[in-house]
């Protein structure tokens, strides 16, 4: 089974896509989505109850994918568990054979979430990253895991000479890649990557950009307003609103973004949000011409 870690190291441009989970997810629906996505991408991202919407345990979903030889990138947030539960999930991930983790603080609960829920935040992001890294040398763990650890970043328009201190601190803690929130502004990404290169941070971490085939202008506006860190220009929203077929237009926008991202210096790949429509991801990747078999590089 090709892993996300291997893909980052051996492909010029790595592709992953998000699994859609909800309270009604079943092993069968997870396998169907995973198999559809795996035709085009190197790994499947398994979310951890984003914006407080409860879905099947991401650890269970990752296990289902692994049984069918589909590599998961397991998301873990600090919002919903104390340190005992977090470390327990790390042990469970290791036992299942999970090799890649995306560790994050966790998005704030929406104000209209009912019933109200309190965030835990017993451990911060850097502490959880360090704990996951330390497991590789823990003598108390049989076959200790060597997790390929990543975290979240927000692409923005930095001033010249900006120092990415937060990302550097996470690299010190143990991350090997960062994955940005959704960003549909290619010029902004170019400027952001120029500053990361100047800071020599790409010698330590790989950068994956978040994109999506957004199916409507209304969803694009919701993402811009509610998904912290997302960059959705008005031009993108206007293009979706004026389209005769917004779903197909969203696929074309995503395909265009993938083509442009693939040639930006320093960008190692893209992660694609699916909105529950795996076929849209497949179409976007196919239209971009960047399906996983076509983006091979030399192993390093």
Flag whether 300 is in a domain. no
CATH of residue 259's domain is 3.20.20.220
* Residue 92 to residue 216: CA distance in whole angstroms: 38
Flag whether 219 is in a domain. yes
* Residue 177 to residue 6: CA distance in whole angstroms: 13
What are the residues facing 23 on neighbouring strands? none
Flag whether 116 is in a domain. yes
Flag whether 207 is in a domain. yes
- pLDDT digit string, tens, across residues 240-259: 999 999 999 999 999 999 99
Total domains in the chain come to 1
User: Containing domain of residue 198, as a range?
Assistant: 4-294
Going residue by residue through the chain (300 aa), what tens digit of pLDDT does each one get?
889 999 999 999 999 999 999 999 999 999 999 999 999 999 999 999 998 889 999 999 999 999 999 999 999 999 999 999 999 999 999 999 999 999 999 988 877 788 888 999 999 999 999 999 999 999 989 889 999 999 999 999 999 889 999 999 999 999 999 999 999 999 999 999 999 999 999 999 999 999 999 999 999 999 999 888 999 999 999 999 999 999 999 999 999 999 999 999 999 999 999 888 999 999 999 999 997 655 554 433
Q: Which two tokens stand for residue 45?
A: 């991202």
Q: How many other β-carbons are positioned within 10 Å of the β-carbon of residue 9?
A: 17
Which pLDDT value is given to residue 293?
Answer: 53
Element (H, E) at 178: strand 177-182
Mean pLDDT, the chain, rounded, equals 94
Share of the chain above pLDDT 70, in %: 97
Backbone angles phi, psi at 271, to 5 degrees: -115, 130
Instruction: Check if the beta carbon of residue 153 is closer than 8 Å to that of residue 202.
Output: no
Which pLDDT value is given to residue 110?
Answer: 77
* Helices and strands, counts by H and E, the chain: 11, 8
* Residue 155 to residue 190: CA distance in whole angstroms: 10
Flag whether 250 is in a domain. yes
- pLDDT digit string, tens, across residues 162-174: 999 999 999 999 9
Which pLDDT value is given to residue 279?
Answer: 96
Flag whether 171 is in a domain. yes
Flag whether 8 is in a domain. yes
* Residue 253 to residue 110: CA distance in whole angstroms: 28
The conformation of residue 296, written as its DSSP 8-state character, comes to: B
Which alpha helices (H) appear in 80-231, and where do they start and end? 83-96, 125-134, 165-173, 186-198, 217-226
Flag whether 299 is in a domain. no
What are the residues facing 152 on neighbouring strands? 179
């Amino acid at each position: 089974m090709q892993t996300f870690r291997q893909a980052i190291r051996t492909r010029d441009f790595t592709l992953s896509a998000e699994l859609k989970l909800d309270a009604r997810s079943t092993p069968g629906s997870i396998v169907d989505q995973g198999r559809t996505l795996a035709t085009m991408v190197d790994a499947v991202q398994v979310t951890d109850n984003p914006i407080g919407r409860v879905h099947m345990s991401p650890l269970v979903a990752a296990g289902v994918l692994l049984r069918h030889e589909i590599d998961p990138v397991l998301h873990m947030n600090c919002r919903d568990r104390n340190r005992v539960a977090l470390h327990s999930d790390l042990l469970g991930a290791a036992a299942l054979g999970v090799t890649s983790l995306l560790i994050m603080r966790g998005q704030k609960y929406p104000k209209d979430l009912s019933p109200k829920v309190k965030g835990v935040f017993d451990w911060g992001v850097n502490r959880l990253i360090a704990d996951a890294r330390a497991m590789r040398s823990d003598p108390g763990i049989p076959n200790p895991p060597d997790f390929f650890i990543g975290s979240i970043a927000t692409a923005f328009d930095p001033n010249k000479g900006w120092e990415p201190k937060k990302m550097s601190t996470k690299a010190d803690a143990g991350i090997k890649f960062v994955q940005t929130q959704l960003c549909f502004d290619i010029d902004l990404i170019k400027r952001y990557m120029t500053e990361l290169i100047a800071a020599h941070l790409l010698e330590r971490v790989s950068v994956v950009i978040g994109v999506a085939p957004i199916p409507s202008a209304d969803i694009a506006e919701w993402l811009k307003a509610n998904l912290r860190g997302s960059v959705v220009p008005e031009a993108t929203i206007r293009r979706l609103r004026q389209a005769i077929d917004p779903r197909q237009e969203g696929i074309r926008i995503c395909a265009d973004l993938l083509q442009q991202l693939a040639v930006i210096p320093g960008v190692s790949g893209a992660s694609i949000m699916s909105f529950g429509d795996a076929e849209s991801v497949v179409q976007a990747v196919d239209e971009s011409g960047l399906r996983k078999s076509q983006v091979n590089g030399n192993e390093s």
